[in-house]
Chain A
Amino acid sequence: MKLLVFAHRGEAQAFFNEWELVPVEYYFTGLFKNKNSYLLTTGEGPKDASEKTVAVLSSFKNEITELINIGIAGSLTSKLSVGDIAWVRSSYAQNAERSEFKSYTTKNHTNIDCITAFSRVASKEDRKTLSAFADIVDRELWSIASAGHLFKIETSALKLISDNADSVDMCKLVKDEAPAMSKKLFLEFQKYESKIAAVKPVKLVVKTDSIEDYFLHHPKFYFTTSQMRKLSTVLRGLSLKKIVSDVDLKKIANEIIEANANEKTSKELSKIFLNDLSERLNPLNTKIKEKINQSLKPLLDSGASVSFDPELEQEYIQINYQVRNTKDQKRLQLALEQFNYQKIKDIFAGNLGNDV
């Protein structure tokens, strides 16, 4: 469902005329619905637009997938004349003397930017200030786009130039022209709808997603939640680096399954598979870790548990060893004598040997 947001009923008049919209019983008036869309009229200004859009998105967020602000705007540039119509690119805002730093980029756009003024443009000086930031000025879009951003709903805005933002008296004029303007907005919106409908629904198949699904649903694998995240990251990485094809990924998985199927659980197989993929994605890291582990061998052979910074950023090792008798003590002493910390230092200094 789309949520179409208008400031004034006049701007939405053609939509009421053409569609069978029924009022939705809600906390405030102005919300209507037909089978494809919600239509909301908020009243003028960013405060009402923000409050009402947030409220409706909050209540109907499971149904609403697209947010569109439709309405009139004043032109701040000579490149746009009264009657021109445009999908907005970026939305900015001006609150009194201050520009709001945040901006929102909309989904379907031309190269027209809009600035939402928190108060009506009352002077040529106001117009000049606003024109530095955008091509058109309205009173609501930034608030509506902000609400869309909050709910992670794609937002776009269709604006019809009603005036040149140079006179406060234009309100009456706009009121008089409302039916014609609304009709124009409706026709442009219909064009947009037809364009969307004309594009054959193509199921977007993201390569990594499809292969990800394949492994997630593979009967021999069981991925825990964190492993699922890791799988997604690693597959995305392999795809970006174009290291392994999907066919090869399946081969790798089959080889792991064949080699381990009888002795490993599905969870263990997933772990082996993920480690294999990580090694392919970051072979240098794997070599570094192998080298560290080789250096730690005397300690590990003594039964000590040894860890190092998993991020490979801080140079240290941590030894955990339980001494229960003098034999344990001697074993540790021997291991420490055989262990050469300089090798760890060398690895952290980037001296990785000739085989890298």
Chain B
Amino acid sequence: MMFEKIFIEEHLENHPKVLEIQSRFPNSEFKFIKKIEDVFGRVKKPYLQKRTNLNLFIGEKKGQLVKPAPPAYGLSGEPHYYFVHAYNCIYECNYCYLQGYFQSPDIVLFINHEEIGNEIKKLSLEHAKNSPSEKIWFHAGEYSDSLALTHLTGELPHYFNLFKELPNAYLELRTKSVNIKELVKLAPSENIVISFSLAPEHRAKMNDLKTPSLKARIEAIRELHELGFPIGIHFDPIIYDDKLAESYTRLINQLTLALPAEAIRYISIGVVRFTKNVYHQVKKNYPDSDFLADDFTKSFDGKIRYNRPTRLWILGKVKSLLVDAGVPIEKIYECMEDGDQDGDQNDSLH
């Protein structure tokens, strides 16, 4: 991977992580800026320009560092929060909402993990005090892949150490990556779940562009499971085709050979959905995507989805396939579709 330009917030010039990144990319042009927002997203950079000209921004996340997650995010009944330590992704899933979210495909890395960690700690301790028997969840990877760049960003040890001190708190690292080399250096922790987004092989090839193959992802799952890492799974977004039942049956078989059904920590299922703007971007960026031929409709929340019987049939079908394969029903949750309610997040990143 190569970054054409690397923008660094001026006050971080001598930060060890910045110095390390500078040494890793000697051929990139380095620019020091006051703050990321002065440049990032100020002009609309075409999304597909990420193929030939990807820039990197390094800065500190400001504002609310940890935010409540939208409804139907994670297993219900427990509070869920997400934190953001990066924007954008090196992959190119053709349904991804990031196409219409930041107006720039450039990668942003926030390196103030101490501050983010302090906020997580504060919320966890408060929660432990108020609801001692209840878990609290924190999700990484809302706007980026949680593992894809960890060899570069190096934040995993920080979060692993943090969550050791917070037994009531759970961390989810969402990924489509197989970049587990930093992860396997660490001791697995019961309260840190590595969750992989999966799709049937033909769908992964057609839609999860530039991501590791399904086979490679399942291999990574096997390796991590054998090492004792708790694993979560996301079947999200599910895209309809007439082979849906067969292809998800095969996917579940492939998965459960690597990770026994009873060992899956949880599995989310969600049907493809877009905001109007993202749908427009998908048509522009990937006009030959087969799912663009599907009948989508503006649904209850203004998002573009399959019609209601179709999406609920898909969820029901995949859920029953999982149950048939031995996944306990209480471990399956429907992402962003529960009772036709939804959050304010854009979806379909993972």
User: Is A133 in contact with B42, judged by CB distance below 8 angstroms?
Assistant: yes
A-contacting residues, B23-68, CB 8 Å: 29, 31, 33, 38-39, 42-46, 49, 52-53
Choose one: B53, B300, B312; the contact of A349 (CB below 8 Å). Answer: B312
User: Is A241 in contact with B49, judged by CB distance below 8 angstroms?
Assistant: no
| B118 lies within 8 A of chain A by Cβ | no
| A348 lies within 8 A of chain B by Cβ | yes
Choose one: A89, A101, A113, A356; the contact of B313 (CB below 8 Å). Answer: A356
Choose one: B39, B42, B309, B316; the contact of A348 (CB below 8 Å). Answer: B309
Choose one: A133, A242, A288; the contact of B309 (CB below 8 Å). Answer: A288
Given A236-B293, A313-B297, does the pair A284, B52 have CB atoms closer than 8 Å?
no
Choose one: A77, A103, A283, A315; the contact of B43 (CB below 8 Å). Answer: A103
User: Is A311 in contact with B297, judged by CB distance below 8 angstroms?
Assistant: yes
User: Is A281 in contact with B293, judged by CB distance below 8 angstroms?
Assistant: yes
**Bound form: Cα–Cα A131–B55 in Å:** 13
Return the CB mask of B255-279 against A: 1 if under 8 Å, else 0: 0000000000000000000000000
User: Is A350 in contact with B312, judged by CB distance below 8 angstroms?
Assistant: yes
Chain A binding surface SS class: mixed
Closest to B311 in A: A350
| A105 lies within 8 A of chain B by Cβ | yes
User: Is A103 in contact with B309, judged by CB distance below 8 angstroms?
Assistant: no
| A240 lies within 8 A of chain B by Cβ | yes
**Bound form: Cα–Cα A281–B312 in Å:** 20
B287 to chain A, nearest CB (A): 9
Return the CB mask of A197-237 against B: 1 if under 8 Å, else 0: 00000000000000000000000000000000000000011
Choose one: B33, B299, B300, B313; the contact of A132 (CB below 8 Å). Answer: B33
User: Is A312 in contact with B309, judged by CB distance below 8 angstroms?
Assistant: yes
Closest to B29 in A: A77
| B240 lies within 8 A of chain A by Cβ | yes
User: Is B42 in contact with A90, judged by CB distance below 8 angstroms?
Assistant: no
User: Is A348 in contact with B242, judged by CB distance below 8 angstroms?
Assistant: no
- How many residues of B are in contact with the other chain, CB < 8 A? 40
User: Is A103 in contact with B46, judged by CB distance below 8 angstroms?
Assistant: yes
User: Is A111 in contact with B52, judged by CB distance below 8 angstroms?
Assistant: yes
User: Is A285 in contact with B43, judged by CB distance below 8 angstroms?
Assistant: no
User: Is A313 in contact with B299, judged by CB distance below 8 angstroms?
Assistant: yes
B-contacting residues, A94-115, CB 8 Å: 99-103, 105, 111, 113
User: Is A284 in contact with B31, judged by CB distance below 8 angstroms?
Assistant: no
Chain A contacts of B314 at CB under 8 A? Answer: 350
**Bound form: Cα–Cα A242–B291 in Å:** 11
User: Is A101 in contact with B103, judged by CB distance below 8 angstroms?
Assistant: yes
Residue with the greatest number of chain A CB neighbours at <10 A, chosen from B31, B43, B300: B43
| A238 lies within 8 A of chain B by Cβ | yes
Chain A interface size range: 35 or more
Chain A contacts of B316 at CB under 8 A? Answer: 350-351
User: Is B313 in contact with A350, judged by CB distance below 8 angstroms?
Assistant: yes
A-contacting residues, B289-343, CB 8 Å: 289-290, 292-295, 297-300, 307-316
User: Is B43 in contact with A240, judged by CB distance below 8 angstroms?
Assistant: no
**Bound form: Cα–Cα A356–B292 in Å:** 22
| A329 lies within 8 A of chain B by Cβ | no
Given A103-B43, A132-B31, does the pair A347, B309 have CB atoms closer than 8 Å?
yes
Given A284-B313, A313-B300, does the pair A132, B39 have CB atoms closer than 8 Å?
yes
Number of A-B contacts (CB under 8 A): 102
Choose one: B49, B241, B289, B315; the contact of A90 (CB below 8 Å). Answer: B49
| A186 lies within 8 A of chain B by Cβ | no
Given A77-B29, A132-B7, A240-B288, does the pair A350, B46 have CB atoms closer than 8 Å?
no
| A282 lies within 8 A of chain B by Cβ | yes
Chain A contacts of B33 at CB under 8 A? Answer: 132
Choose one: B46, B52, B290, B300; the contact of A241 (CB below 8 Å). Answer: B290
Chain B contacts of A347 at CB under 8 A? Answer: 309
A-contacting residues, B149-170, CB 8 Å: none
Chain A contacts of B293 at CB under 8 A? Answer: 236-238, 240-241, 281
User: Is B53 in contact with A111, judged by CB distance below 8 angstroms?
Assistant: yes
| A352 lies within 8 A of chain B by Cβ | yes
| A38 lies within 8 A of chain B by Cβ | no
| A92 lies within 8 A of chain B by Cβ | yes
**Bound form: Cα–Cα A284–B313 in Å:** 10
**Bound form: Cα–Cα A173–B70 in Å:** 60
A351 to chain B, nearest CB (A): 7
A290 to chain B, nearest CB (A): 12
Chain B contacts of A103 at CB under 8 A? Answer: 43-46
B180 to chain A, nearest CB (A): 33
User: Is A105 in contact with B307, judged by CB distance below 8 angstroms?
Assistant: no
A45 to chain B, nearest CB (A): 20
User: Is B313 in contact with A352, judged by CB distance below 8 angstroms?
Assistant: yes
**Bound form: Cα–Cα A236–B313 in Å:** 26
Chain A contacts of B310 at CB under 8 A? Answer: 284-285, 288, 312, 350
Given A103-B45, A350-B314, A350-B315, does the pair A240, B29 have CB atoms closer than 8 Å?
no
Closest to B305 in A: A313
User: Is B295 in contact with A282, judged by CB distance below 8 angstroms?
Assistant: yes
Choose one: B39, B44, B289; the contact of A101 (CB below 8 Å). Answer: B44
List 30 A-B residue pairs with CB atoms under 8 Å apart, sorted by A's residue number.
Answer: A89-B49, A90-B45, A90-B49, A101-B43, A101-B103, A102-B44, A103-B44, A113-B53, A128-B31, A132-B7, A132-B33, A132-B38, A133-B39, A133-B43, A237-B293, A281-B293, A282-B295, A283-B242, A288-B310, A311-B297, A311-B307, A312-B310, A313-B299, A313-B307, A348-B309, A348-B312, A349-B309, A350-B311, A350-B316, A352-B309
Q: What would 9 more interface pairs be, CB under 8 Å, given A102-B44, A240-B293?
A: A78-B29, A105-B49, A132-B38, A240-B292, A241-B293, A242-B290, A281-B293, A313-B298, A348-B308
Q: Which 5 A-B pairs have the closest CB atoms?
A: A350-B312, A237-B293, A312-B307, A350-B313, A311-B297
